[in-house]
Chain A
Amino acid sequence: MGHRLVDLALLIQTIANSIVAGSIYAVIAVGLAMAFGVMKMANFAHGEFFMAGAYVVYVFYALLGWPFPIAVLMAVPIVGAMGIITERLIFRPTRSNVLAGFMATAGLAFILQVLVGQAWGVGLMRSVPTPYMGAADILGAKIGWQRVLVVPVAIVMLSCLWYFLFKVKYGKALRACAQDPDTARLQGIGINKMTMLAMGISGASAGLAGALMAPIHPVTPYMGHGVILTAFIVVVMGGMESIAGAVLAAVLLGFIHTFVTTLSDAVTAQMVGVACMAIILIVRPEGLLGRVKA
C-alpha cells in the first residue's frame, strides 16, 4: 500500500483523513489543555468523558430515535455537567497536588467504565447508525459525510471558544485565572467559579467530540483508552496549558498518525506519537507554543 502514495487520489485521501483526524484531536485536546491551564487540573478521565458523549448519542439517537444533531447537542451539557461535578468532588480537594488529582481521575475513569458497562453492556460494541450516508468526492478521494462533518463542527467550536476567551468577560476572567490565580483573586475573580467553568467547558468539548464520533468509532465502555493517550500526546506537544498550542499539535499529530498508519501500520503510528511526546517532554518541556515559566 505504501508504494502507492505517489497515487494522487491516495495522497489526497490521506491528507483529507489527516485533517479529519486533526480536527477531532483538536476538539478533544483543547478541553484537556484548558483544564490544565486553570489550576493544573490534569484529567485522566477525559477519555471517559469522550466515551460518555458517544453514549449520550447512542441513547438519544440510536435507542430513543431523536434527530442526530439534537442528540449531539444533548451531549454537550450532560458531559459538561460531569466535568463540573468532577471539579467539585475531585479536583477541588486535591488542588494542592497535581499528581493526586490526576491519579484520582484515573479512579474516576474506572468508575465510569463500570457504570456504562453495567448500564448498556460490556461485550459487543453498541451500533450507532450513520445519519449521513454517502461520501464526498474530492478530486477522486472519497470521504464519508459523517467524517467531513467533523471539520466544520470543530472550526465552529474552536471559534466559539476563541470568542468566549477573548471577547466575553467570563472568558477573560478564565484567562486571567490561568495566568496568575492569586492576582486574579485580588481582582475579585472567584477561583472556584473559574475552575468549575473550565472543567465544564473541558467536559463539554470531550462530550461533543465523542458524540460526533459515535457513528464512526466503535462505541464501547473502553473507547476512552486510546483517546486519552492521543489527547495527552497532543497536549504535551502543545505545551500543556496553551490552547493554541493544543490546536497546532492536534493538526500536526493528525497528519503524523494518518500518514504513518497509511505508510506502515497503526502500532507504528502510536509509537511515533508516543516518541514525539517523550522527546518534547524531555527536550522542550514547555511544548511547541508553551511559555517558559519565570
Chain B
Amino acid sequence: MSIPNWKPLFLLAVVIAVGCAIPFMVRAYTIEIFILFMINLILVCSYRIPATTGDWSLSHVVLMGVGAYTTALLSKWFDLTIFLTVPLSAVVAGIVGFIMVTPLIRTRGFGFFIASFALGELIRLIWIKFRYPFGGPRGMIGIPNGELGSIDFFEPMPYYYFVMAVALICLIIMYRIDQSRIGKTFTALYTDEGLAESVGIDVPRYRALAFGLGAFFAGIAGALLAHRLGAVDPKNFDVTTMVYLIIWIVVGGTTTFWGPIMGLILMTFIFEWSRPLLEWRPLLFGGTLIFFLVFLPGGLDDLFFKIRNKIMARKSGAGVSDVAS
C-alpha cells in the first residue's frame, strides 16, 4: 500500500512559485537580501548535518571560506566558469573538512568545539599570512560574477534565480540525507553513542562523514558568496561571523530539518528591522542568544513541538473527560 506523497511536492511547488515571483515584487536591493538569505540557508542546513551527531563546531564559516577562496583562485587563475567553480569549491571544502575532522574525531563535546576553533583559526591565519596566493589580510578582489551564455550574473535577477536553483537542489539533497538511513544513523549516534556502537555503527566514520558533508555544502555557500561579492576577505570568516551562525542555529534548534531554517528566517527579519539601530545590533543578537540558551534551549523547533504536544494533549484530555462524563 503506497499513498502518493503529494504534500511535500505541493509544498515544494508553492516554494518555487513564490521564489520565482519574489524578484518581480521587490526592489533590487531586496533581491540582494534574498540572495544572501538563500546562501545562508545552505549554510545553516549544512551546519545541522554534523550537529545532529552532537558535533557542534566553531570552524564552519572557515570551511565556507575554503569554498570562497577556492572559487576566487579557480576563477581568477584558471578562468573557470561558475558552473565548475561552485561544485569544485564544494569538493575542495569537503576534502578539507575530511582532513580537519580526522584528528578532531578524537575529541567530543566542548573539546571538539574549541579544537575545531583552533584548526579553523589555523586555516584563516594561513590566508592572512600568505599574500601569495591568498591576498594576505586584505583578501582577494576582482572575482568575476559569472555568466550563462549572454546572461550576466552581475545583475541581481539572474543571479537570484541561479542561487535559488542551487539552494533548492542542496536543500532537497540535505533533506533526503536527513530522512535517509545515514541521517537516522547520525541522530542515533548522538542519542546514545554506546548503543549505536554496540549495534555495529562505526561511530568515528559516521561522524567524519557528517562533518565532511557539512563542509561540502558550506563550500557551495562560500562559492556562491564569493561570486556575488566579487571579493573574499579573511575577516568575513572569523569567529564573530561564526557566532552569528550559531545564533541562527540556537534560535531555530536542531531537532528537525526545519529548525535552523526557522531560526534563520526569524533572525534575518530581526537583522533587517534593526537596520536603524546598527550599533546596537550585536547587543540585540547577543541578548537573543542568551535568552534562547537559558529559557528555550531547544530553540523554536522545540517550542513548536511542545505547543503541538500541548494542543494534542488538551484534545485527547477533553476526549477522555467527555467519555468520563
Contact = CB atoms under 8 A, between A and B. Distances in A.
A109 B243 CA distance: 11
Contacts of A277: 114-115, 118
B288 interface: yes
B129 interface: yes
A251 B68 CA distance: 38
Contacts of A225: 239
Interface residues of A, number: 42
A99 B116 CA distance: 13
Contacts of A90: 290, 294
B175 interface: no
Contacts of A271: 122, 125-126, 129
Contacts of A152: none
Interface string B262-301: 0000000000000000011011011111100110010000
A181 B56 CA distance: 26
Contact of B110 (A99, A110, A113, A117): A99
A106 to B, nearest CB: 5
A285 B106 contact: yes
Interface residues of B, number: 38
A278 B118 contact: yes
A189 interface: no
Contacts of B289: 103-104, 106-107, 110
Chain B interface, DSSP helix/strand/loop, else mixed? helix
Interface in A78-130: 89-90, 93-94, 97-104, 106-111, 113-115, 117-118, 122
A102 B283 contact: no
Contacts of A103: 243, 246, 250, 289, 293
A281 interface: yes
A282 B290 contact: no
A108 B282 contact: no
Contacts of A99: 56, 109-110, 113
A94 B293 contact: yes
B282 A110 contact: yes
A137 B272 CA distance: 57
B280 A114 contact: yes
Contacts of B117: 232
B114 A108 contact: no
A104 B290 contact: yes
B298 to A, nearest CB: 11
Contact of B286 (A93, A107, A275, A278): A107
A100 B250 CA distance: 9
Given A117-B279, A270-B125, A271-B126, A104 B293 contact: yes
- Which 5 pairs show the lowest CB-CB distances between chains A and B? A110-B286, A107-B289, A107-B286, A114-B283, A110-B282
Interface of B: 56, 103-104, 106-107, 109-111, 113-115, 117-119, 121-122, 125-126, 128-129, 239, 243, 246-247, 250, 279-280, 282-283, 285-290, 293-294, 297
22 contacts: A40-B110, A89-B290, A93-B294, A99-B110, A99-B113, A101-B293, A104-B294, A107-B287, A107-B289, A107-B293, A111-B287, A114-B286, A271-B122, A271-B129, A274-B119, A277-B114, A277-B115, A278-B115, A278-B122, A281-B115, A282-B107, A285-B111
